[in-house]
Structure 1
């Protein structure tokens, strides 16, 4: 277990306090909204449909947090260029190498939100992701609902524990994080921003984990992206956590079609204009 780092000592105690309890992820209706700089999208939205019955965060909560914590919390890029960021969660896994081959075939870079426990047990595949020029980001150590955890669990056992694995195995400290299930309290978002992270959610959820349970997964995933794609979309997919052959096949199909539509593929850090890794 990673001991509490000196970083915590330099943060105001008020920023750590929100993690002492498992508050609800819901955002207050009267939450103040951050000012919108000229030339940026006024509203960030999730375009894909909500999937009932799977304990997901309501879309209005994601959108309210994006409005309140603009510059820290992203559902999409803030401009209207025809760029798109493909993202993959829960790896590395046995499917990661196949996905890397598809991305290399189409000369596309993506962002991989990896779990600390999987990098620890499978560092070679994580190194292959990094060597291919993709961005690696923090998806926690072992995929809990962060909003249900206390301070010590969130930081020492999840984000910082994963960060230490990335540093030891890959020599990096990711600046981007994605909460499992998209679940963060407002107070947690503020504390994450104070620590230098950017919280990256999504505007297009392919629900590939759900489609993988059925026949024709690649077609359903492909259609979900083509139906909801938009300028500066952040697309959620998975290369770990289950059967992902349908995702790999769908990516191979969707990239040429999206290129025909004029889309350029970038990593999330390129999309939002930040550094991928902390100094």
Structure 2
């Protein structure tokens, strides 16, 4: 290769490397705090919808289905809070697990209460953890017994073998039955939402999916989970994370990092029932 062409190639490679390095540095700098909305805090939202994008080839409910559930079942199915208060609800699925105590320690450090949607078989196994979470002021909800896709199934399966069975387990472990429910994968039918309401349960979905169920497998997963929340945060968000179902150490670290950032931005942390004004969360 002629010397001039070689020099140009070297300069081009160096330029690309410097560009990538600069992008990485900028990505790791703390983002600016989000500005408050100009809408009055008590103004009702025109609609509820999921803010984060859908990832193909993962077993998650289509965003349009989730948005439709909230629109067709007002006061029964929820994606987010109803107004524009500077509040956020952290929610965690699939526990309890060996990672849950460390997460509870982080929440306790910041005096933050969260909402946990737990799997019945894990509540049985980690009953001490469940009782601790309740005693520390967190809200507990039902996430079925074994985490199946319940949409389109018969009631003697989704209720008798899954949700109702988990209600009985909660009764034995903490002395009461939750009245908040989150369907695995966000998949549920409108008929099931209505039937659950007849059982006294509200259906809680989310407006921000941190995708920690995927990012915990990544290098620098903690950073990516944190950035995802910071990118899509909004007033009265319901944020989906996980304390079970796999390795969750990066989720715990991300929560530890993002809570002080959100507090600096003026966000108050509340449980889902507080956010939505649900007065009764157990029976």
Match of 1:245 among 243, 249, 264: 249
Which of 109, 115, 128 pairs up with 1:124? 128
TM superposition shift of 1:150: 1.3
Matches within 5 A, 1:45-124: 45-124=49-128
For 1:172 and 1:87, how far apart are their aligned partners in 2? Answer: 20
**Unaligned regions of 5+ residues in structure 2, if any?**
1-41
Q: 2:218 aligns with which of 193, 200, 214?
A: 214
- Contact kept in structure 2, 1:112 and 1:136, CA below 8 Å: yes
Contact 1:172 1:277 in 2 (8 A): no
Helix, strand or coil at the partner of 1:91: coil
Which has the higher Rg, Structure 1 or Structure 2? 2
TM (norm. structure 2) is 0.84
* Aligned partner of 2:147 among 143, 157, 167: 143
2:181 — aligned with what? 177
Measured in 1, the distance between the counterparts of 2:131 and 2:229 equals 28
Among 163, 168, 171, which residue is 1:167 paired with? 171
How far has the Cα of 1:196 moved from its partner?
1.2
1:148 is displaced (CA, Å) by 4.1
* Counterparts in 2 of 1:160 and 1:112: CA distance versus 1, 3 Å: same
- Residue aligning to 1:205: 209
Q: TM-score, normalised by structure 1?
A: 0.85
Instruction: For residue 276 of structure 1, report the CA deviation from its aligned partner.
Output: 4.7
Q: Secondary structure at the match of 1:136?
A: strand
Counterpart-to-counterpart distance in 1, 2:220 and 2:153? 37
The answer on 1:41 being equivalent to 2:45 is yes
- How far the C-alpha of 1:229 sits from its partner, in A, is 0.6
User: Are 1:266 and 2:270 an aligned pair?
Assistant: yes
Q: Which has the larger displacement, 245-254 or 143-152?
A: 143-152
Tell me the distance in 2 between the aligned counterparts of 1:159 and 1:55.
20
Q: CA RMSD in A?
A: 1.1
Check whether the contact 1:115–1:143 (CA below 8 A) recurs between aligned residues. yes
- Runs of 5+ consecutive residues of structure 1 not aligned to the other structure: 1-37
**Maintained 8 Å contact 1:92/1:239:** yes
Displacement of 1:149 in angstroms is 2.3
Give the 5 Å matches for 1:153-164: 153-164=157-168
